[in-house]
Amino acid sequence: MSAVKVGLLGLGTVGGGTATVLLRNAEEIQRKLGRAIEISHVAGLGIAEQSIVDASKVKLTEDGFDVVNDPDVQIVIELIGGYTLAKDLVMKAIENGKHVVTANKALIATHGPEILKAANANGVNVAYEAAVAGGIPIIKALREGLAGNQIEWIAGIINGTGNFILTEMRDKGRDFDDVLKEAQALGYAEADPTFDVEGIDAAHKLTILASLAYGIELQFEKCYTEGISKITPDDVNYAQELGYSIKHLGITRKTDDGIELRVHPTLIPQKRLIANVDGVMNAVLVYGDAVGPTLYYGAGAGAEPTASAVVADIIDTVRTIDAPVEHKVPMLGFQTDSMADVPVMAIDDIETACYLRMTALDKPGVLAEISDVFAKHSISIEAVSQKEPAEGADKVHVVLLTQKVRESNMNAAIAEVENFDEIEGAVARIRVEQLG
């Protein structure tokens, strides 16, 4: 059979890794497919200076539209990132009848409905395994390996930067700002780290996972997102004393009231496997009604780990390149005419247990006042601890763990407690999940 020609948009970290893996493993890939995959056209800024592909055998351009309009290219691999140009290139490729492989989680999470609708209309496939958790094949697991299950919930560490920061804070007692600077120096965090540390990157990925799990439309704008920038070394230490680790989790759960879709710092018991996923590694815990809990662990970023997922998608696309759309695994795991109209719940309607830390005057009666407020708002306290004050200080940290409580009730109670004269500053709140 003749070689399948692919066009590559972007030759940066992931694009370079993808080209390297395709070239290095070409013989092994051909043995699996029965035909070769040939890189025929590559676009990228400063492309003339690249040394990854053989310029005598591959067309090089700085204009991505040269690639998507190339009649010889059958599969377009989009690895430039971002929303605008990437979307225009992908939509043009689809219009031209080309299959698309992408690692662009922001593009799929925000423009996925439009892109996938166009792909279906044009009889082509859009594959995006590398968009979530790098080299971990979580999309294939949800869409194929767990297809016989009803997914009850997913909880994932799906941003390595945030996980690195929280690991360093726990293991070395460092504060957030200090570790963030190191993460930037190491290349784990961008100069503007907002997407990573405020949970936007994780929310993009969780939006995709929820759609695959429950057969709902991609609804990034409805994902509750909270970052880790307010986590203090005290919180990390107090959590450990209580037998918990703090992780920045993306959580989606199907309930009778709708779908939970939330990214936030979370206390999880130290005995859980996912609590021991450290550094820049990712992990996704999936609970299916038949299989129970399954954990997927690996590198969530990096040139070749992400390229591993990109190349796997290229191989899958080649295997079914000429098959009708109805004979392929649906792009979101469910048939397009069977997507469920299930609401995504507002964060105020969700119930979780909570960890609370507050700074209070060291005087009798304060804990009783706090307890009265919580009782008024139907909040049960599971544990309470008043820390020793520093020498000569008249204020102490009070730490509480609550049982499950409706978010709106907790918000009202926190607002009331913060108005006490005996309470200084804001009450810190971290949600608690048992994940078992």
Q: For 142-180, how does the pLDDT look when each residue is reduced to its tens digit (9 = 90+)?
A: 999 999 999 999 999 999 999 999 999 999 999 999 999
Residue type for position 343: P
Say if residue 281 is in the same domain as residue 320.
no
Contact between residue 162 and residue 228 where contact means Cβ atoms under 8 Å apart:
yes
| CATH classification at residue 178 | 3.30.360.10
Catalytic residues: 205
Q: Is the pLDDT of residue 291 over 90?
A: yes
Q: Would residue 418 count as lying in a domain?
A: yes
Say if residue 283 is in the same domain as residue 368.
no
Work out the pLDDT band at 323, boundaries 50, 70, 90: confident
Per-residue pLDDT, 389: 80
- Considering 285, 312, 338, which residue would you say is the last residue of a domain? 338
Q: Would residue 46 count as lying in a domain?
A: yes
Per-residue pLDDT, 82: 93
Q: Would residue 345 count as lying in a domain?
A: no
Per-residue pLDDT, 322: 87
Q: What is the largest CA-CA distance in the chain?
A: 83
Say if residue 151 is in the same domain as residue 196.
yes
Say if residue 280 is in the same domain as residue 382.
no
Write the pLDDT tens digit of every residue in 405-421. 999 999 999 999 999 99
Structural domain harbouring 45: 4-135+303-338
Instruction: Determine how β-strand 99-102 pairs with β-strand 75-78.
Output: parallel
Q: Would residue 163 count as lying in a domain?
A: yes
Q: Would residue 285 count as lying in a domain?
A: yes
Q: Which of 416, 432, 433, 424 is nearest to 371 (CA)?
A: 416
Question: What is the distance between the alpha carbons of residues 199 and 76, in angstroms, rounded to a whole number?
Answer: 29
Q: Which of 44, 283, 30, 48 is nearest to 159 (CA)?
A: 283
Say if residue 316 is in the same domain as residue 385.
no
Q: Is the pLDDT of residue 390 over 80?
A: no
Q: Would residue 314 count as lying in a domain?
A: yes
Question: What is the distance between the alpha carbons of residues 145 and 152, in angstroms, rounded to a whole number?
Answer: 15
| CATH classification at residue 413 | 3.30.70.260
Instruction: Quote the tokens at residue 12.
Output: 């940066």
Q: Which of 48, 43, 46 is nearest to 61 (CA)?
A: 43
Q: Is the pLDDT of residue 259 over 80?
A: yes
393: number of Cβ within 10 Å: 10
| Average pLDDT for the chain | 96
Per-residue pLDDT, 276: 97
Count CA within 13 A, CB hemisphere, residue 344: 20
> Regarding predicted confidence, which is higher, 324 or 272?
272
| CATH classification at residue 44 | 3.40.50.720
Q: Is the pLDDT of residue 391 over 80?
A: no
Number of domains in the chain: 3
Q: Would residue 333 count as lying in a domain?
A: yes
Q: Would residue 344 count as lying in a domain?
A: no
Say if residue 376 is in the same domain as residue 388.
yes
Q: To which residue do tokens 């009778």 refer?
A: 256
Say if residue 166 is in the same domain as residue 292.
yes
Say if residue 256 is in the same domain as residue 203.
yes
Work out the pLDDT band at 326, boundaries 50, 70, 90: confident
Per-residue pLDDT, 155: 98
Say if residue 62 is in the same domain as residue 74.
yes
The average pLDDT across 129-149 equals: 97
Question: What is the distance between the alpha carbons of residues 322 and 357, in angstroms, rounded to a whole number?
Answer: 59
Q: Is 425 left (phi over 0), alpha (psi -120 to 50) or beta?
A: left
Per-residue pLDDT, 388: 83
CB-based burial label for 91 (10 Å; 0-12, 13-18, 19+): middle
Per-residue pLDDT, 307: 97
Contact between residue 166 and residue 274 where contact means Cβ atoms under 8 Å apart:
no
Question: What is the distance between the alpha carbons of residues 123 and 181, in angstroms, rounded to a whole number?
Answer: 47
Say if residue 8 is in the same domain as residue 63.
yes
Say if residue 234 is in the same domain as residue 383.
no
Say if residue 175 is in the same domain as residue 251.
yes
